[in-house]
Amino acid sequence: MTAFRRLLTYARPYRGRFVLAVGAMVLYAAADAGLVYLVKYIIDKVLAAQTGLVWVSTTILVLYACKGAGGFVSTFLMTDVGQRVVRDLRNQLFRHILGQSAGFFKRRTSGQLMSHITNDVAQIQHGVSETIGDLLRESLALVFYTGLMFYLDPRLAIVCLTGAPLVLYPLVRLGQRIRSTTRRGQEALEHISHLSAESFTGHRIVKAFGTEAKEADRFRAASERLYRINLTVTSALASLPPFMELLGGVGIVGALWYASRKIGANELTVGDFMAFITAAFMMYGPARKLSRVNANLQQAIGASERIFEMLDTHTEVHERPGARALPPLRSSIEFRHVTFAYDDGSGHKILRDVSFEVPAGQVIAIVGLSGAGKTTLVNLVPRFYDVTAGAILIDGVDIRDVTLRSLRAQVGIVTQETVLFDDTIWNNIAYGAPHATDAEVEAAARAAHAHEFVTALSDGYRTRIAERGQRLSGGQRQRLAIARALLKNAPILILDEATSSLDSESELLVQDALARLMMNRTSFVIAHRLSTVRRADVILALEHGRVAEMGRHEELLARPDGVYRKLYALQAFDNPQAAAADTATAGHTESGAR
């Protein structure tokens, strides 16, 4: 019940509308009961005595008008409140999920997370906006009908209604079952969402490996599971109305026996009895709706439990209370005995006791074999993850003591996987700088050597990039990502394989642009092609998460058994001419390049 109460707190801002809706419901239910009461007059006066036809007719019309107005206003307002609640919840959920740590996103797939925002919220929407309205309106109707029955003849009412409480037991039991089934159903739906997102995203791999049938089988199994779960709910739900109807029938038969004797003894008029029996029959509608209301409510509660669990998951990197804004970088960035392990339960240390200091304005290149921990290391700078031990200091201030916003505002980043948004090229470049002028955007694009291919597109900078940037080549996408980082113009720059998708010629051009960009900026550069790191002020070679060596290109190359030398030799083997050229020019380019 706590999930339900928590759900209700979301309606608190809209209580004015809610109260109005309840008022309209009272009108609706009262008018309805009034109509039933009129049956007595119709039979006893209008039909039997031929009087009051006009009066009764007018009243009928007025009551229907009231019922209609009350029904419309209450349905509209209740649905409105429900939709607002759902909208607020959805917005909060999105914001909350987006605020989670990088580790959180690694553990879950986008398909799963999307399922929370679409399926779970939709389930609540169904439960809240329709059901709570029904619950109140139909309960009120029941109260009025019962009141009317007691008003007409209390003893008859007791005879007729003794069976009613019997219906409560299956109703409650069923509700519990539906809630747990809903949870399983939502989990099955989540799995379906995950499977489809995965297969659609990886459609090319699926096709290339000819595994369509295998994927379809996986999907079919998940669908089947959902179907079975839904079937349990359906069969349970469908068994209720017949049971209730039977119970109602028994009540009416009892009333009929009792009333026929009373009418015979002239203690009850036919009109009284007809009004009474009409009320009894009319009760069936609300009662049936109410039996479903509980089921719907339980579904909404089941789904909201899942949502609240998500809302109670806090994996954000924490901002300390009283964190200050980080002033612009002036002197240096320091890694001090940094050890890091991902929060995946293995406890495996990806970085071990990494210490180094980069003076502001310098370029540090990080090299190492795949899996050495290079990406992990640079991810610590904008605090995508927090260090496990040790500290990272900017101008001597621990980055955990400053606000995330001010820290991240100082970091420009080009990640290993290029991420572009489904928007125009212009908006993608200006992603972090919405107030940029056209000239600034173009300058950034030129510097990243993107301007040429962008202007060749039909709509130029206004061209929309289809989802995930599929319409552009890998190198073009990477150049847009570089332009985006250039435009942000942040003092700290992280380039994680920023030029890996470019051919050698474009890379040279972009490299040139990057070299200009890195001027007066503190840059972390990761590149597999060592020709690109040669120009760095300092090269840090990682091996199994440790700093194996640090120094300039020639220094490291001069070490007989060095890690860097080994990496370099491997590349020379791959591309002997380039390596030879590198070695030949190493001496004079390294200082002139920056």
Ligand X SMILES: Nc1ncnc2c1ncn2[C@@H]1O[C@H](COP(=O)(O)OP(=O)(O)OP(=O)(O)O)[C@@H](O)[C@H]1O
- Residues of this chain that bind Mg ion (CB under 5 A): 375, 416
Q: Is the dihedral of CA 523, 343, 99, 405 positive or negative?
A: negative
Amino acid present at 350:
I
| Closer by beta carbon to ligand X, 260 or else 416 | 416
Backbone angles phi, psi at 344, to 5 degrees: -110, 15
400 C-beta neighbours (distance < 10 Å), count: 18
| Closer by beta carbon to Mg ion, 161 or else 372 | 372
Give the side-chain half-sphere CA count within 13 A for 321: 0
| Closer by beta carbon to ligand X, 278 or else 375 | 375
User: If 0-12 CB within 10 Å is exposed, 13-18 middle and 19+ buried, where does residue 576 land?
Assistant: exposed
Q: Is 375 in the site for ligand X (CB under 6 A)?
A: yes
The correct pick among 82, 368, 390, 475 for binding ligand X (CB under 6 A) is 368
| Closer by beta carbon to ligand X, 427 or else 500 | 500
Instruction: Provide the minimum distance between the beta carbon of 73 and Mg ion in the complex, in angstroms, as a whole number.
Output: 60
Instruction: Provide the minimum distance between the beta carbon of 380 and Mg ion in the complex, in angstroms, as a whole number.
Output: 13
Binding mask 400-429 for ligand X (x = CB under 6 A): ----------------x-------------
62 C-beta neighbours (distance < 10 Å), count: 12
Instruction: Provide the minimum distance between the beta carbon of 416 and Mg ion in the complex, in angstroms, as a whole number.
Output: 5
Q: Count helices and strands (H / E) in the chain.
A: 24, 10
Q: Is 344 in the site for ligand X (CB under 6 A)?
A: yes
| Closer by beta carbon to Mg ion, 280 or else 372 | 372
Stretch near ligand X under the rule CB under 6 A, chosen from 46-54, 224-232, 304-312, 363-371: 363-371
Interaction partner, residue 373 (Mg ion, ligand X, none; CB < 5-8 Å by kind): ligand X
Instruction: Provide the minimum distance between the beta carbon of 497 and ligand X in the complex, in angstroms, as a whole number.
Output: 7
Q: Is 570 in the site for ligand X (CB under 6 A)?
A: no
The correct pick among 50, 266, 370, 458 for binding ligand X (CB under 6 A) is 370
| Closer by beta carbon to Mg ion, 416 or else 455 | 416
Round to whole Å and give the CA distance between 409 and 403: 10
Q: Are strands 332-341 and 389-394 parallel, antiparallel or unpaired?
A: antiparallel
* Extended strands (E) in 226-307: none
User: If 0-12 CB within 10 Å is exposed, 13-18 middle and 19+ buried, where does residue 29 land?
Assistant: buried
The correct pick among 240, 301, 372, 563 for binding ligand X (CB under 6 A) is 372
* Best CA proximity match to 506, nearest among 474, 535, 533: 474
The correct pick among 82, 127, 133, 373 for binding ligand X (CB under 6 A) is 373
Q: Is 34 in the site for ligand X (CB under 6 A)?
A: no
| Closer by beta carbon to ligand X, 106 or else 516 | 106
Round to whole Å and give the CA distance between 276 and 385: 70
Q: Is 475 in the site for ligand X (CB under 6 A)?
A: no
CA distances from 527 to 122, 449, 495, 533, 547 (A): 45, 19, 8, 7, 16
Instruction: Provide the minimum distance between the beta carbon of 213 and Mg ion in the complex, in angstroms, as a whole number.
Output: 34
Q: Is 171 helix (H, G, I), strand (E, B) or coil?
A: helix
Instruction: Provide the minimum distance between the beta carbon of 418 and ligand X in the complex, in angstroms, as a whole number.
Output: 14
The correct pick among 193, 376, 428, 522 for binding ligand X (CB under 6 A) is 376
Q: Are strands 363-367 and 538-543 parallel, antiparallel or unpaired?
A: parallel
Binding mask 171-210 for ligand X (x = CB under 6 A): ----------------------------------------
| DSSP code per residue over 433-451 | -TT--HHHHHHHHHHTT-H
Q: Is 342 in the site for ligand X (CB under 6 A)?
A: yes
Interaction partner, residue 371 (ligand X, Mg ion, none; CB < 5-8 Å by kind): ligand X
Instruction: Provide the minimum distance between the beta carbon of 223 and ligand X in the complex, in angstroms, as a whole number.
Output: 31
Instruction: Provide the minimum distance between the beta carbon of 570 and Mg ion in the complex, in angstroms, as a whole number.
Output: 17
Question: Torsion angle, CA of 542/547/551/557, rounded to 10 degrees?
Answer: -50
Interaction partner, residue 368 (ligand X, Mg ion, none; CB < 5-8 Å by kind): ligand X
Stretch near ligand X under the rule CB under 6 A, chosen from 70-78, 141-149, 239-247, 374-382: 374-382
User: If 0-12 CB within 10 Å is exposed, 13-18 middle and 19+ buried, where does residue 413 land?
Assistant: buried
Interacting residues with ligand X between 90 and 109 (CB under 6 A)? 103, 106
Instruction: Provide the minimum distance between the beta carbon of 373 and ligand X in the complex, in angstroms, as a whole number.
Output: 4
Which residue's beta carbon is nearest to the bound Mg ion? Answer: 375
Round to whole Å and give the CA distance between 78 and 87: 14
Instruction: Provide the minimum distance between the beta carbon of 131 and ligand X in the complex, in angstroms, as a whole number.
Output: 41
Round to whole Å and give the CA distance between 591 and 85: 62
Q: Is 117 in the site for ligand X (CB under 6 A)?
A: no
Q: Which helix (H) or strand (E) holds 1?
A: none
Q: Which stretches of the chain bind ligand X, using CB under 6 A?
A: 103, 106, 342, 344, 350, 368, 370-376, 416
